[in-house]
Structure 1
Amino acid sequence: MVQIGEPVGVPGASSPPREWQGEVTEVSFNSGITAARDKAEIRAPHWRIGEDLSDPWELAEKLRLPEAPYSKKAAVYLVDGAGGAKDVEIKVRVSKCVNVSGTGKLVGSIGPIVIEGDCPLAVGEHTVKAQIKELPEAISHLRGLLQWSIEAGDLGRWALNASLVELFFILARPISPYKPGVWVEALRLVCQRGPVIGLKPDEEARVVANITRYCHADHEMEYDTEGGGSFFGVDYDGGEFVLSDYLARASSILNCYDQAGAIQALAGAVGANVKWIFLTPFGFIHPANLVGIGLCNSPFFKFYGTEKIVAADDPLRTGFGNHAFVEHGKIHDACAGPHLGTESRQQYIDASIDAAATRLRGDTPGTVADMKIFAGVTIIT
Structure 2
Amino acid sequence: MGDFSTYITIKNNLNSPLQLDGSAATLGSWKTAPPSWISARSSSVQFQCLHASGSNGSEGWFIYRTNSEIENLRFKINFADPYRDDNYVRTNGFSSNLYTLSYRARSSNGAWWDNTCPASGHPVEVEITISYKTVPDAYTLHSLRAQSDYRIKSSSGFALPLDNTVWQQGGINNDGDYSANPILVKTNNQTFLKINLDISNSKLTDVPIKIKGTKASGNITFQSKVITPTSTGIMMIDLMLSGADLSKALQSYGDFKWSIEAANQSFQLPDTTRLEMYWISNSPDEMFKAGVWVKVYRKIFTVLSAGMTTDQIATSISKQCFDGFSKKYDTVYGAAKYGPGPDGGFFELKNYYNNTNGALCNCYDQAGLVQVQLGAMGISSYWVYMTPFGFINQTNLIGVGQCNNPFFSNPVCAPEKIVDINNPKRSAFGNHAFVAKSISNNSIIDACQGPFIGDKTLATYVSEGIDSKTGLYKKFGPPNNVPGKATDAKQEPGIVSLILVKLLASKINTLEMEALKPVIDFEELYKTASAEFLLVDIDQLLQFALQDYTYETGSIVLSDSGVIKTGTYVKDQKRIQLKIHVATNGITALRFMERFLSGFSNPPSTIFERGPAALGPVALQHQEAPEPMLLWTQQNIFFVLDGLECSYDELYQISMRIKEGSANTQLLDKHNIPDSVDMHVNLSNPEVRVNDSFKVNFSGEMDDMIICDTADTTIEIDSTGRDYYHYRAVAPGNATLQIFVVQPKYYFLLTHTVNITIK
Q: Which TM-score applies when normalising by structure 1?
A: 0.87
- Unaligned stretches of 5+ residues in structure 1: 56-67
Partner residue in 1 for 2:173: 53
Partner residue in 2 for 1:238: 344
Deviation for aligned residue 1:282 = 0.6
Partner residue in 1 for 2:354: 248
Residue of structure 2 aligned with 1:212, choices 312, 318, 329: 318
Partner residue in 1 for 2:433: 324
Partner residue in 1 for 2:212: 107
Letter in 1 for 2:419: V
Q: Is the 8 A contact 2:172 2:180 kept in 1?
A: no
Letter in 1 for 2:250: S
348-357 vs 161-170, which deviates more?
A: 161-170
Separation in 2, partners of 1:305, 1:316? 5
Partner residue in 1 for 2:298: 188
| 2:465 paired with 1:352 | yes
Separation in 1, partners of 2:254, 2:417? 47
Residue of structure 2 aligned with 1:258, choices 361, 365, 385: 365
Question: SS in structure 2 opposite 1:28?
Answer: strand
Q: Is the 8 A contact 1:23 1:93 kept in 2?
A: yes
Q: Is the 8 A contact 1:97 1:121 kept in 2?
A: no
Deviation for aligned residue 1:23 = 2.0
Separation in 2, partners of 1:41, 1:139? 22
Deviation for aligned residue 1:135 = 5.6
Separation in 1, partners of 2:133, 2:173? 38
Deviation for aligned residue 1:72 = 1.0
RMSD of the TM alignment (CA)?
A: 2.4
| 2:146 paired with 1:29 | yes
Partner residue in 2 for 1:142: 252
Residue of structure 1 aligned with 2:184, choices 76, 88, 97: 76
Residue of structure 1 aligned with 2:375, choices 262, 268, 290: 268
What CA deviation, in whole Å up to 9, does each residue of 1:6-51 have, x standing for no partner? 6577544587968460022111111321110222112310111111
Separation in 1, partners of 2:202, 2:415? 82
- Unaligned stretches of 5+ residues in structure 2: 1-95, 105-127, 476-480, 500-759
Separation in 2, partners of 1:323, 1:370? 11
Partner residue in 1 for 2:488: 370
Q: Greater CA radius of gyration, 1 or 2?
A: 2
Q: Is the 8 A contact 1:29 1:87 kept in 2?
A: yes
Deviation for aligned residue 1:255 = 0.2
Residue of structure 1 aligned with 2:268, choices 159, 165, 173: 159
Separation in 1, partners of 2:330, 2:407? 8
Residue of structure 1 aligned with 2:199, choices 94, 98, 114: 94
Partner residue in 2 for 1:380: 498
Q: Is the 8 A contact 2:258 2:272 kept in 1?
A: yes
Deviation for aligned residue 1:228 = 0.8
Q: Is the 8 A contact 2:414 2:426 kept in 1?
A: no
Separation in 2, partners of 1:197, 1:271? 17
Q: Which TM-score applies when normalising by structure 2?
A: 0.45
Q: Is the 8 A contact 2:329 2:399 kept in 1?
A: yes
Question: SS in structure 2 opposite 1:313?
Answer: coil
What CA deviation, in whole Å up to 9, does each residue of 1:157-195 have, x standing for no partner? 322232111111223211121242111011101111xx0
- Larger relative helix fraction: 1
Pair 1:144–1:156, CA change in 2 (3 A): same
Separation in 1, partners of 2:323, 2:204? 64
Separation in 1, partners of 2:307, 2:339? 30
Separation in 2, partners of 1:69, 1:159? 23
Question: Percent of aligned pairs with the same residue?
Answer: 27
Separation in 2, partners of 1:357, 1:242? 37
Between the two structures, name the one with larger relative contact order (CA 8 Å, sep ≥ 6): 1
Q: Is the 8 A contact 2:444 2:455 kept in 1?
A: yes
Letter in 2 for 1:281: P
Pair 1:199–1:326, CA change in 2 (3 A): farther
Separation in 2, partners of 1:207, 1:99? 48
Question: SS in structure 1 opposite 2:275?
Answer: strand
Question: SS in structure 2 opposite 1:185?
Answer: helix
Pair 1:159–1:99, CA change in 2 (3 A): closer
Q: Is the 8 A contact 1:31 1:86 kept in 2?
A: no
